[in-house]
Chains A and B, each alone.
Chain A
């Protein structure tokens, strides 16, 4: 689920932080810039793991802040394709299921990646028609899913007023297969 990424960044340090110890000030600036943000193709930044090198400290003409070249490692949330994760079922509609990991909510399981004989009930809950009986996919259940794709859609230039808020990172999951789907189906 988590991996480290080595990043180099030219960081301007605003003047109001210049009285703080350098390492703390740089860490705070980096956290302000990167924490809880999605970097395209790298994933969601969870935390600053460590700072490897700090160079520079030059003040450019006309600028009040000093610029440092910092090399550091970030803990990124980036599951690999094929990884099995466990999420909670947050919402269910005609397009499929929406799962959540607590800190990450944009996980979709589209209709064609649900188990083979699934149909939608009247209340919007999907039901798997198994030979042992109907198994509903109730909300707030733990679901095991396999990651099939991670999308990083580009930032839209215009958006409708009532469209869903833009999600910079989307995980498409599948629950088609043995051992996938609601945990209660397979737990002994």
Chain B
């Protein structure tokens, strides 16, 4: 076995999810026995519970276009798309040297971190609601935006 290219491209969680779905994976554990291996089923189950489940390529393209002004690294954009942080505290560990790169000036009313958070909340759909937890604001705008795009 020879590795020709260790890194031939990164994939977002959405792309892996779509790939497995196209192969025939479903959430039903018995349904996907013939088409996909049990290990692939486990990956599918994990991804279906994250924010990737409701995303579309259009939403990701729009997010990438609109976050150009923040000058984020490719890895940071990928992390944000996969994780979908919903407030400033959650975005902070993703971006290196956050305080230096994204200005926060209350006197002039500029808060780039909050702008980035608002962009994430607006463009990327939230993860599916967990049945036994009370998650606030899950039924809000992002699903309407998705309907517009479709």
Residues of A within 8 A of B (CB): 1-10, 31, 35-36, 39, 41-42, 46-47, 49, 71, 73, 75, 77, 80, 82-86, 101-103, 144, 146, 177-180, 186-188
In the complex, 17 of the A-B residue pairs with CB atoms within 8 angstroms, ordered by the A residue number, are: A1-B13, A3-B8, A4-B7, A7-B3, A8-B1, A35-B40, A42-B6, A47-B19, A75-B11, A75-B16, A83-B79, A84-B79, A86-B50, A102-B43, A103-B42, A179-B94, A187-B90
A188's nearest neighbour on chain B, judged by CB, is B87
B91's nearest neighbour on chain A, judged by CB, is A179
Whether the Cβ atoms of B93 and A144 lie closer than 8 Å is yes
Say whether B45 faces chain A, with CB atoms less than 8 Å apart: yes
Contact with A along B109-140 (1 / 0, CB 8 A): 00000000000000000000000000010000
B10, B20, B93: which has the most chain A beta carbons within 10 Å? B93
With A2-B13, A80-B75 already in contact, the answer to whether A102 and B7 are too (CB < 8 A) is no
Say whether B39 faces chain A, with CB atoms less than 8 Å apart: yes
Whether the Cβ atoms of B4 and A36 lie closer than 8 Å is no
What total of A-B pairs shows CB separation below 8 Å? 113
B136's nearest neighbour on chain A, judged by CB, is A188
With A2-B13, A102-B45 already in contact, the answer to whether A177 and B39 are too (CB < 8 A) is no
Interface range on chain B: under 10, 10 to 19, 20 to 34, or 35 or more? Answer: 35 or more
Residues in A whose Cβ lies below 8 Å from that of B75: 80, 82-83
With A5-B3, A86-B50 already in contact, the answer to whether A35 and B13 are too (CB < 8 A) is no
Contact with A along B23-53 (1 / 0, CB 8 A): 1000000000000010110110110001000
Residues in A whose Cβ lies below 8 Å from that of B5: 5-6
Please name the 6 residue pairs, one residue from A and one from B, whose CB atoms are nearest each other, closest first: A102-B46, A36-B39, A6-B5, A103-B42, A4-B8, A6-B4
B85's nearest neighbour on chain A, judged by CB, is A179
Residues in B whose Cβ lies below 8 Å from that of A31: 37
